[in-house]
Amino acid sequence: MKTKILALAAGLMTATALASVPAKADVKIGLLGGISGPIAAMAPAMIDAAQLAFQQVNEQGGIGDGEKLVGVVGDSACNPQNGTDAATKAVNIEGVIGVVGPHCSGAVLAAAGSVTIPAGITMITPSGTSPEISTLDDKGTVFRTVPSDDYQGRALARTLKEQGYEKVAVAYLNNDYGTGLANAFKAEFVDELSGEITQFAAHEEGKASYRSNLAELAKGGADTLVIFDYGDGTGLTILRQALENGFFDKFVGGDGMKSEAVINELGAENLATFVSSSPVGEQSESLDIFNEAFKGIGGDPDAIFATTSYDAAFLLALAVEKAGGKKEDVAAAMAEVSNGEGEAIRPGEWKKAKELIAAGTAIDYKGAAGDHNFDEKGDVPGTYALWEVGANGFEVLTEMK
């Protein structure tokens, strides 16, 4: 009996000791994307690219002492209210340590101002391009891996002039994205390059018909319509109705219009005079590495914002690792892991980065979309191209500078 009691006691002690060893907790990062709404066709590739980064982290040792990195997906739906709601759930319920996204500028501004900045949570958007993001009083917590629309709009204006466009009409969605891009384009095309904008008009989202808008836009006599909108939403409707009614001969879109939905719905044969701007990864070893890895999971490396989404996720993981998992230190760490100084880290090199961070060695992330050397506003330089529709989908027509 005494032997049985001792054995039972020993078993209880062992069980108690095992129970006192804390289970490793997942480290959560919010992935807030436009899963529904006007960029729904773009969002899956963006989410998949970010998840690829997390997969690589987990396959190569995880975060900290082997914790698993988990992407918590939320639908920001490309509007301010949904962006705020998705961020609130991610931060207050899921307990994320950082946020990748939202995907659209209005959602970024709302979610940052209402949720992540007050909570001290670092946010990095792969596609929020409004110039207003640069002016947020964000305490250094908001970053992006895509250039501001002030850059894109001006580069597009310069490229169109080089391509021989002299007189255009401009239609833009009345939100943070459309307004910021249109104003930047206008400032460069008219004020700096002496181009002519015959009509410059905002429109609201979600109408069944924009024929009256198009009739007004066509009155100035321009043969080209520039559309700053989304190719999965209102922008598609405007382009379709402009083609159906012959209002314009040529069409230009910003990055929001470079959507496969445009080709799928309208047909490549009807888009011979349609071009669109979009960020591209700089040709580099890093881009080649990402392309191969993304193809390996069935992704399309040419999908818009795939490279910037991957880079945003991998950068945030690096910052979390460098910060030792302390959310209050993640923003400062973000600025340190991609500043042009330190040992080069390329896409997928998590084990190398983890060892260097543990050794106290400075690292510098060289991303698929570029080097991402953040300025004091959390902004980055970038590379854009003008795309046309070819037999195999969107193809680069020329680089934009």
At 220-253, the pLDDT tens digits run 999 999 999 999 999 999 999 999 999 999 999 9
Residue by residue, pLDDT tens for the chain (401 residues) are: 444 444 444 444 444 444 444 456 899 999 999 999 999 999 999 999 999 999 999 999 999 999 999 999 999 999 999 999 999 999 999 999 999 999 999 999 999 999 999 999 999 999 999 999 999 999 999 999 999 999 999 999 999 999 999 999 999 999 999 999 999 999 999 999 999 999 999 999 999 999 999 999 999 999 999 999 999 999 999 999 999 999 999 999 999 999 999 999 999 999 999 999 998 867 899 999 999 999 999 999 989 999 999 999 999 999 999 999 999 999 999 999 999 999 999 999 999 999 999 999 999 999 999 999 999 999 998 788 999 999 889 999 999 98
Cα(first)–Cα(last) distance of the chain, in Å? 86
Query: H or E stretch including 321?
Result: helix 306-322
Give the residue range(s) of CATH 3.40.50.2300 domains in the chain: 27-149+283-365, 152-280+389-400
pLDDT above 90: percentage of residues in the chain: 90
H-helix or E-strand spanning residue 350: helix 350-358
Collapse the DSSP code of 28 into the 3-class scheme (helix H, G, I; strand E, B; otherwise coil) and give the result: strand
The answer to whether the Cα torsion of 123, 277, 180, 177 is positive or negative is negative
pLDDT for 180 equals: 94
- Assign domain 152-280+389-400 to its CATH superfamily: Response regulator (3.40.50.2300)
Beta pairing class for 98-100 and 122-125: parallel
The whole-angstrom separation of Cα 84 and Cα 21 is 37
Joined together, the tokens standing for residue 373 give: 């050397």
> In the chain, helix, strand, coil percent, each to 5?
45, 20, 35
pLDDT digit string (tens) for 159-184? 999 999 999 999 999 999 999 999 99
Rounded Cα distance, 209 and 276, in Å: 23
Structure tokens at 127: 């596609």
CATH topology of domain 27-149+283-365: Rossmann fold (3.40.50)
